[in-house]
Chains A and B, each alone.
Chain A
Amino acid sequence: MTNIKIFRSRKNDADKSFSNMSTEFKKAILSGTGLILMFILFALLKPELFLAKTNLINITQQIVTYSILGYGLTFCLVCGGTDLSAGASMALAGIIVVKMLVAGAPLWLSIITALLVGFVSGVLNGISIEILGVVPFIATLGMQWVYRGLANVLVNGMPVYTTTIPSAEIQEQFYVLGGGRLPNGIPYSVLITAIYGIILAVILSKTRIGRQIYACGSNLEAAKLSGINAVGTRIFAYSVSGFSASICGILVASRLSSAQPTAGMGYEAEAIAAAVLGGVSNTGGEGNILNTIIGAMMMGILRNGLNLNGVSSYWQQAIIGFILVSACAVEARRHRQSV
């Protein structure tokens, strides 16, 4: 009996076609189309350069950074917050892992410590927002300086190079993480991004905490009154962001064979842009990992394509900013119409 009912309703859902599809999915299709068009445009403009294998790998490496930071920001944005400290947490994690390796610590310990630091930085963001009551924008802006400052303090403002790691073997092992590739040329980091993305997508859509994140972002009051532990849920979202930032920091330090205290400066803004371009709502309650990946690809391809076509980095900034505001304006319009 019940089975029949479920079947019937699913069929009804299917009948509703595009208009009744989940908003996230609709947006993913929209931004996905934009992505493909952008790809074709750049491929036509500079076929030899843009489609060259080295260039495509170059793009994917850029996308890896945007994606992993973007994952964390997706959690924050969906639960109605934001994380401006992601770029700084990323630099701090990079410094810690390389510093520890230079000091002779084993690879696994250094990585776990860096990840832990990232996680804790997220928890601290969450605490300052949820328990101390600072608004997310200001709290994470302030914590950005705290983490960036700590990163600078640890290395006295100077980069640390992996060539100073005592053991050549560990040097090589560490490099493989971010710079190594599979026999077919796909970087390991792409694999890590994909696997991590799948894990987070499952958490967001299939677990209790994931549902709570959506509920908090969509209507915090209603979520609290529904017996949801809003404080814990939101702290979790920030900790995912901090953790993601530290993964990103380790991969970038590995690929560049050095950790810079200035690494990831402004990346949080680009990761937010990627998430929002892909269809994550900047007002909370809507968006998923797929949206963010598509947005990250758009950002990566856009940057690379503009580079290849000789557009100066200053103009790139202006163009990306313009696209971001336009994308948000389109979303705001849709929101107004549906209310």
Chain B
Amino acid sequence: MGEELFRMEGISKSFPGVKALDNVSFSVNKGEVHGLVGENGAGKSTLMKIMSGVYSCDEGKIFIENQEVRIDSVSKAQQLGVSIIFQELNLAPHMSVADNIFIGRPIMKNGLIDDRRMFKEAQKILDKLGIDINAHAIVRTLSVAQQQMVEIAKAISRDCRILVLDEPTATLTEREIDQLFEIIRNLQADGIGMVYISHRMEELNRICERASVLRDGKYIGTVYLKEVTLDKLVNMIVGRPLEDKFPKYERKIGDIVLEARNIKRKNIVNVDRLFVRKGEILGISGLVGAGRTEIMRCIFGADKAESMEIFMDGKPIKIKNARQALAHGIGYATENRKFDGLALSLDVQYNINMAHLKQLSRFGFIDDKEGMRNAEEYIDKLKIKTPGLRQKVRNLSGGNQQKIVLSKWLCNDVRVLIVDEPTRGIDVGAKFEVYELFNRLSDQGVAIIMISSELPEILGMSDRVLVIHKGTINGELDARKTTQEEILYLAAGYNIMEGKPAPKLSIHSDMEVTSHD
């Protein structure tokens, strides 16, 4: 392995309410692909954002080739040769590949852009990297994988020496992943150091020699992947045996509460039948972009389905918008708290009561006292940590924000609660509390539909699992009997390639009472 390229020492960073990183150290050698692993919220992204100048650290030092550097902006990071490729790509979709590669510093001639040379240069970079894309192509028309490669070309064209790839394969097919790895190996040969963030262990084994583990914002250790067993690595990541991460419970499952049939929306959603029973937790698994969220948005009335029949307690109902869904006792805690879950500039009390205004108002006037009392009640019940009812939710930690999103729905006595990535970006302790809350709700007979990308969460919490692949249900599994491997196999649609049918459960009487312990 080559000499050291990049080193971070004693990095600490706090956000309001959370210590995101605590004295973390990390280094990458020349020509190395260094894996960075940890649970969601472990601090991987924060560390990489510090490395690439998006955030500045509170404490700690950064060295490039043993020279101490100060990275206080993204442009400074780029000057120093550090580039990061996020999951959400940063390209101008209406412009050509060449325009995007040279964005911000086009090739000029006599004060005008020299298009011909720019396209030639861009093509040269693409060819050198072994990327089969025409520099004239409009970015919008490319696949996600191709766009990602354009991002890589863009970084390389800026003389990048250190490249961070944040879950680059999350939305790629197997073949595209192979192509990406080929490109990564080319870069490796050029002596570029890379940080590879991923949840997928087999990928890490294929592409990385070493991996560093973060947990709860702390540095746990660096291992040679060939020398470590998967169990050991998972143990380092999780910090305790998996079983202890999920509260024990016993469920009493009743009749079907909500049933949806024949949901169709463009070519994104195509579901024949989906139901959830009283007191049941229905896990929805699948790859990012498989259409999990889109199905639930149709059921909740947030998106308009071209066709959909919905039944509540066996009776047909109509849901055309969120208001009607709410009136039928359906709640939807969305995937992205900041985008469509919370009003960040408003306070705790406001947010908790946001879906509860009708009940709080008499002749159009809000009963403030009742609103305060309601907010108090849920702060108490869900153990939300906030300095006061008037605190802006922006200033709370992710876990507390998530609890506020949940209380927003719970105060309406929902019968069906849809939760989308309910524990994303919250710490382990808060996760456990959210799981306990779900168990309490299911005890009270609430049906919970839980979309999650975290397989342990799906297996540890749900009774039944639906695996979504390309907008359809590609498998219905018993959470007690299935494995992560089986879910991934179905999520990737391998059964379809092999011509096998999607598994289905026949509802036996023994499903009525399930117990996980």
- Interface, chain A (partner B; CB < 8 A): 2, 5-6, 9, 12-13, 16, 20, 22-23, 206-212, 214-215, 218-219, 221-229, 281, 285-286, 338-339
* Listed residue (A12, A209, A219, A224) with the most chain B CB atoms within 10 angstroms of its CB: A219
Q: Which of A5, A20, A228, A338 contacts B380 (CB 8 A)?
A: A5
* Listed residue (A9, A20, A210, A281) with the most chain B CB atoms within 10 angstroms of its CB: A9
Q: Which of A16, A206, A218 contacts B387 (CB 8 A)?
A: A16
| Selected interface stretch from B23-31, B76-84, B204-212, B363-371 | B363-371
Chain B: CB-nearest residue to A335? B345
Asked if A218 and B346 sit within 8 Å, CB to CB, the answer is: yes
For the complex formed, measure the closest distance between the CB of B451 and the CB atoms of chain A, giving whole angstroms: 15
Asked if A339 and B394 sit within 8 Å, CB to CB, the answer is: yes
Contacts of A208 in B (CB 8 A): 357-358, 360-361, 364-366
Chain B: CB-nearest residue to A219? B343
Classify the secondary structure of A's interface with B: helix
The reply on B389 being an interface residue by CB < 8 A is: yes
Asked if B346 and A13 sit within 8 Å, CB to CB, the answer is: no
Chain B: CB-nearest residue to A285? B345
Q: Give the distance in Å from the alpha carbon of A212 to the alpha carbon of B302 in the complex.
A: 18
Asked if A228 and B392 sit within 8 Å, CB to CB, the answer is: no
The reply on B239 being an interface residue by CB < 8 A is: no
Asked if A215 and B346 sit within 8 Å, CB to CB, the answer is: yes
Chain B: CB-nearest residue to A221? B340
Asked if A224 and B302 sit within 8 Å, CB to CB, the answer is: yes
* Listed residue (A20, A208, A222) with the most chain B CB atoms within 10 angstroms of its CB: A222
Asked if A281 and B345 sit within 8 Å, CB to CB, the answer is: yes
Asked if A9 and B389 sit within 8 Å, CB to CB, the answer is: yes
Contacts of B339 in A (CB 8 A): 219, 221
Asked if A207 and B334 sit within 8 Å, CB to CB, the answer is: no
Chain A: CB-nearest residue to B300? A225
The reply on B376 being an interface residue by CB < 8 A is: yes
The reply on B107 being an interface residue by CB < 8 A is: no
The reply on B350 being an interface residue by CB < 8 A is: yes
Given contacts A208-B358, A223-B354, 13 further A-B contacts (CB under 8 A): A20-B387, A23-B345, A207-B364, A208-B360, A218-B343, A219-B340, A219-B342, A222-B340, A222-B343, A222-B354, A228-B357, A285-B345, A338-B395
Chain B: CB-nearest residue to A202? B365
Q: Give the distance in Å from the alpha carbon of A225 to the alpha carbon of B327 in the complex.
A: 12
Chain B: CB-nearest residue to A210? B366
Contacts of A223 in B (CB 8 A): 343, 354
Contacts of A209 in B (CB 8 A): 364
Q: Name B316-349 residues within 8 Å CB distance of A.
A: 321-323, 325-327, 332, 334, 339-347
Contacts of A206 in B (CB 8 A): 365-366, 368
Asked if B390 and A227 sit within 8 Å, CB to CB, the answer is: no
The reply on B408 being an interface residue by CB < 8 A is: yes
Known: A219-B340, A225-B340, A226-B408. A212 touches B357 (CB 8 A): yes
16 A–B contacts from the bound complex (CB under 8 Å):
A6-B373, A12-B387, A13-B388, A207-B361, A208-B366, A214-B350, A218-B345, A219-B340, A223-B354, A224-B321, A225-B322, A225-B332, A225-B341, A226-B326, A228-B355, A228-B357
Asked if B388 and A12 sit within 8 Å, CB to CB, the answer is: yes
Q: Give the distance in Å from the alpha carbon of A155 to the alpha carbon of B283 in the complex.
A: 68
For the complex formed, measure the closest distance between the CB of B463 and the CB atoms of chain A, giving whole angstroms: 26
Binary A-proximity of B414-440 (CB < 8 A = 1, otherwise 0): 000000000000000000000000000
Contacts of A5 in B (CB 8 A): 376, 380
For the complex formed, measure the closest distance between the CB of B324 and the CB atoms of chain A, giving whole angstroms: 8
Contacts of A214 in B (CB 8 A): 343, 346, 350
Contacts of B360 in A (CB 8 A): 208
For the complex formed, measure the closest distance between the CB of A235 and the CB atoms of chain B, giving whole angstroms: 16
The reply on B274 being an interface residue by CB < 8 A is: no
List the 3 closest pairs (A to B, CB-CB), nearest first. A218-B343, A221-B340, A227-B326
Q: Give the distance in Å from the alpha carbon of A226 to the alpha carbon of B496 in the complex.
A: 38
Known: A208-B358, A212-B357, A222-B354. A20 touches B390 (CB 8 A): yes
